[in-house]
Amino acid sequence: MNFEELKKSCEGCEKCALSKTRTQTVFERGSRDAKLMFVGEAPGEKEDLSGVPFVGPAGQLFDKYLLAAGLDREEVYICNILKCRPPRNRDPLPEEQECCMPYLRDQVRLIRPKIIVCLGRIAACRLISPDFRITKEHGVLYKKGAFLITAVYHPSALLRDASKKEEMLKDMLMIAEEYKKLSNE
C-alpha cells in the first residue's frame, strides 16, 4: 500500500463511532521522506476543520519549539494515533486507538523514520510502554526495532502548565542533536 491508497482507506474508515462525528480525517503533515516523525494523540477542533495536524494553539506552540530546535516543520512528518477528533477533545478511548493503529503502523512502515517522537502521555503509553510516565521519562531515548523513540510533553499540556516549557525545549534540542547525528551516518 502506498501513501495515496492508505490516505484514501483512512478517509473511508468507519471502524469506530468517531467516523460519524468527524468533519474529515486528519492524516498527515510534512515530508513523506522525513526521518523524524512526531506522533500526537488525536486531532482537535482546528485540525478537524482543516484536515491538517497541529494547526491550533498547541500546534502553533509546537511550531515554535521546532523552530527553536532548528527543525523545519515541512521537513519532518507529523501525524496522530487517531485520525478523527474525539468529541470535546476528550482523551482517545483504547478501542478508538486500536482501530487507528493499523493506519499509524502503515505510516511508520512507509516513512521508515530514524526517530519517532511521541507528543504526550497517550502517544507514549501506546507506542513506548503502557505504564510510561511522561513527567519522569520525557526525553529518554529508547531503541525499538530500526528506530529510536522518545516522548516529550504534548504542546497542549504546556499551554496549561508553562513550568514545563524549559524541559520541552531541552528535549527538543536533544532530539534535533540526535537527528543530526543519525542524518550524518
Full domain range(s) for residue 131: 3-183
**CATH code for the domain of 138:** 3.40.470.10
For 82-96, how does the pLDDT look when each residue is reduced to its tens digit (9 = 90+)?
999 999 989 999 999
pLDDT band at 1 (very low <50, low <70, confident <90, very high): confident
What does pTM read for this prediction?
Answer: 0.97
Query: How many domains, the chain?
Result: 1
Residue that is written with C-alpha cell 497517550 in the block:
122
What pLDDT score was predicted for residue 2?
Answer: 95
Mean pLDDT over 92-110 rounds to: 97
Mean pLDDT over 45-69 rounds to: 96
